[in-house]
């Protein structure tokens, strides 16, 4: 389970790169069954981590509000 714990510390880009590598291995069909199951499980953890990071990033994005004359007046949450 320690291997899955490291997923939580990966950046989005690193997690996505690992996930793409796993998909490639699974699609090739060359991994033995036990390895395929293990890397599939890691892929699921990576996918969940990427989704959580994206959701957090979306929550931080704000839309700049403008006055009638085009000047910035503040921000508001971006509609999801």
| pLDDT tens, position by position, 15-64 | 999 999 999 999 999 999 999 999 999 999 999 999 999 998 877 777 77
pLDDT at 59: 76
> Is 2's pLDDT higher than 90?
no
Domain boundaries, given as residue ranges, for the chain: 2-77
* Cβ neighbours for 80, distance < 8 A, ≥ 6 positions apart: 58
Which one-letter DSSP state was computed for residue 77?
E
- Predicted confidence at residue 79, as pLDDT, reads 67
Residue with tokens 């979306």: 58
Give the whole-angstrom CA distance, residue 63 versus residue 79: 8
Q: How confident is the model at residue 75 (pLDDT cuts 50, 70, 90)?
A: confident
- Give the containing element (helix H, strand E) for 72: strand 72-77
Q: Within 10 Å of residue 54's Cβ, how many Cβ atoms?
A: 11
């Amino acid at each position: 389970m320690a291997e899955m714990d490291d997923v939580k510390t990966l950046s989005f880009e690193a997690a996505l790169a690992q996930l793409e590598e796993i998909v490639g291995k699974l699609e090739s069909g060359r991994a033995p069954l036990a390895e395929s199951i293990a890397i599939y499980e890691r892929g699921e953890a990576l996918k969940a981590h990427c989704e959580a990071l994206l959701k957090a990033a979306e929550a931080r994005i704000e839309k700049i509000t403008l006055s009638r004359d085009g000047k910035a007046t503040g921000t508001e949450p971006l509609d999801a």
